[in-house]
Amino acid sequence: MKDYSDWEPIYDYDNVSPFIENPNRPWLKHWPKNTPKSIKFEPIPTHIFARLGAEKHLNNVSVYFKPKDKKYTYRELLYTADKIAYALYEIGIRKTDAVGIMTGNCPEFLFCSFGIMETGAAVVPINPLLKEGSVAHIIKDAGNIKTIFVHKSNYRTIKKVRKEVDLENVILIGTEEAKEDTITLEEFIKGKPPKPPQVEIDPYNDVAALLYTGGTTGLPKGVMLTHTNLVANALSTIFMKRDPELDRDDKSEYGKRVSLSVLPICHSFGFQVLIIMFHLASQLVIFSSFNPSEVLEAIEYYKVTNFVGVPVMFQMLVNSPDFNKRDLSSLEEANCGSAALAPELNKRWEEIVGFNVGQGFGLTETSPITHVATNWMPEIRSASIGIPIIDTDCKIVDPDTLEELPIGEVGELLIKGPQVMKGYWKRPDATVETFAGDWLKTGDLARMDDDGYFYIEGRTKDMIKYKGYKVMPKEVEEKLFEHPAVLEAGVVSAPDSNIGETIKAYITLKPEYKGKISEQDIIEWAKEKMASYKYPRQVEFVTILPRTTVGKIFRRKLRERAMKKDQ
């Protein structure tokens, strides 16, 4: 097995990245001298990259699991992961295999993920919120999953799935008692030495993780992410905000950061956060569910330096009665992913915390991070997802012709970089359709301004065509948020027998306004605040908006509801 003990990236501060097609990209004019323009490195397995930093801080707390008030050091984490790797290899897990993990946020997810990768097999996170039909689809589609780690709370789902698929080994976590035809994690690794197998891995070609997309537009597809995809994405993300030279001057930030995670770590964003956290030897405070009061208390108590969430979480935080009572001064940054954060919410956050929430952007297909807000740009613009990370090029094109559009125009966002997936698992046709040469077609509509800031305007499939005008739901939603009664808003197209389609808003009201305001009141207010072709012609109050497993508004469900109402 190759020795990576002397592994070091090479930081190029002088030359434009080879992935950048046009050296005159507007964001490059702001690029500082102490941020690499490109990072080159010898291909390295993800798990070895991750533990290079961790092994320097073995006694540091790696994860604090809040629900059980349980702490683990990096020494304990690596010890357990190594035992899992040995046990998996002993039952026959090899490079061509994949191993599933179905659990919510818990330390065992970390142990199992790195143990799986040490065998050379691919990690397949399975969202614990999925029903048996979707879980069975993932296992059947993968075709090489014979072993799965399952939290005790998801056992019933897997028990039903086993009627459709053959699973040789079901390993229960979160319990000391095995169920029928299962074994607990403790039993699985009992007596096993912490000696991972010596496996030769080709980081550039071997799949480290097979992550299934959310399936909002159909059945989930498996995204093949190689070790190099994940490592390149981690390095580029880390050094967008840090100077590598700091480490050489013994001013290392390794082991000093405290991150709080309530995002599902089974999702691509949460999964990459684990890799970055592990490499930086940071402490991760994990919650299994989101409670705004508990999160605010944890930020104060654990002196959290970085919080990452999705818009609905920030909405609940700023509306919490504890928001202006807790000491949040330890926070150095807060970042929002998965969807745009409404400017009104960002403004309320800044009033209390003192800085803007940095928007970011990414896709499962890009490991997942492609854009971040960084403090060396002229400013953090709350409506922007920031700029492309190191070694990442982006352009805006006409969705039909793929011709690059002038600055300021809205078109489809295309991405190129070392973090872009190997392809869709067993879906060569879908892979070909998603690429235009080396460029990944995101399906997202975006624009870029003169400074190189990018702005997501919506999905190509979400665009509403009202009387010949193109209306983006996000723009309407952000305006609706300014109404004092609106808690949440989801805007979609709705059938109209006269003009084809119209604009409809599904709205949840703040408790104090329920019964005191009507749908027509909202429409009249919107008519005064928005352009004549943008305001919603239909408004429906709902108790809750449907959301995907990562917190995005599930627009397809809202469109289906609107279509049924029209029938």
pLDDT value at 312 more than 90: no
Per-residue model confidence (pLDDT) at position 341:
78
DSSP, res 356 = P
Residues 421 and 560 in one domain: no
Per-residue model confidence (pLDDT) at position 307:
93
Calculate ∠ Cα 82-86-87, nearest 5°: 115
Residues 207 and 251 in one domain: yes
Residues 483 and 428 in one domain: no
pLDDT value at 218 more than 80: no
**Percent of the chain residues past pLDDT 70, beyond the cut:** 95
Residues 68 and 188 in one domain: yes
Instruction: Decide if 312 is inside a domain.
Output: no
Q: Could you report the per-residue pLDDT of 361-401, keeping only the tens digit for each?
A: 999 999 999 999 998 999 888 789 999 999 999 999 998 89
Q: Which of 404, 425, 448 is the last residue of a domain?
A: 448
Q: Could you report the per-residue pLDDT of 494-505, keeping only the tens digit for each?
A: 988 777 789 999
Per-residue model confidence (pLDDT) at position 46:
98
State how many domains the chain has: 2
Going from the C-alpha of 403 to that of each of 395, 396, 431, the distances in angstroms are 10, 8, 20
Q: Which residues pair with 440 in a beta bridge?
A: 415, 435
Residues 549 and 430 in one domain: no
Residues 435 and 499 in one domain: no
Residues 103 and 186 in one domain: yes
Q: Which of 399, 414, 448 is the last residue of a domain?
A: 448
Per-residue model confidence (pLDDT) at position 413:
97
CA 86 to CA 96: how far, in whole Å? 17
Residues 421 and 473 in one domain: no
Give the Cβ contact number of residue 18 at 10 Å: 12
Residues 122 and 94 in one domain: yes
Global pTM value: 0.84
Residues 442 and 504 in one domain: no
Collect all residues with Cβ–Cβ distance below 8 Å to 57 and sequence separation of at least 6. 74, 254, 255, 281
Backbone angles phi, psi at 325, to 5 degrees: -105, -20
CA 519 to CA 509: how far, in whole Å? 10
Q: Which of 397, 415, 448 is the last residue of a domain?
A: 448
Instruction: Decide if 370 is inside a domain.
Output: yes
Instruction: Decide if 332 is inside a domain.
Output: no
Instruction: Decide if 315 is inside a domain.
Output: no
Here the CATH number for the domain that contains residue 208 is: 3.40.50.12780
Domain that holds residue 550: 463-566
Full DSSP string of 128-178: TT--HHHHHHHHHHH--EEEEEEEGGGHHHHHHHTTTS--SEEEEES-SS-
Which residues in 83-111 are b (16+ Cβ under 10 Å) and which e? bbbbbbbeeebeeebbbbbbbbbbbbbbb
Mean pLDDT score, 90-105: 96
pLDDT value at 244 more than 90: no
Q: Could you report the per-residue pLDDT of 184-210, keeping only the tens digit for each?
A: 999 999 999 999 999 999 999 999 999
Residues 425 and 370 in one domain: yes
Kindly report the average pLDDT of the chain as a whole number. 92
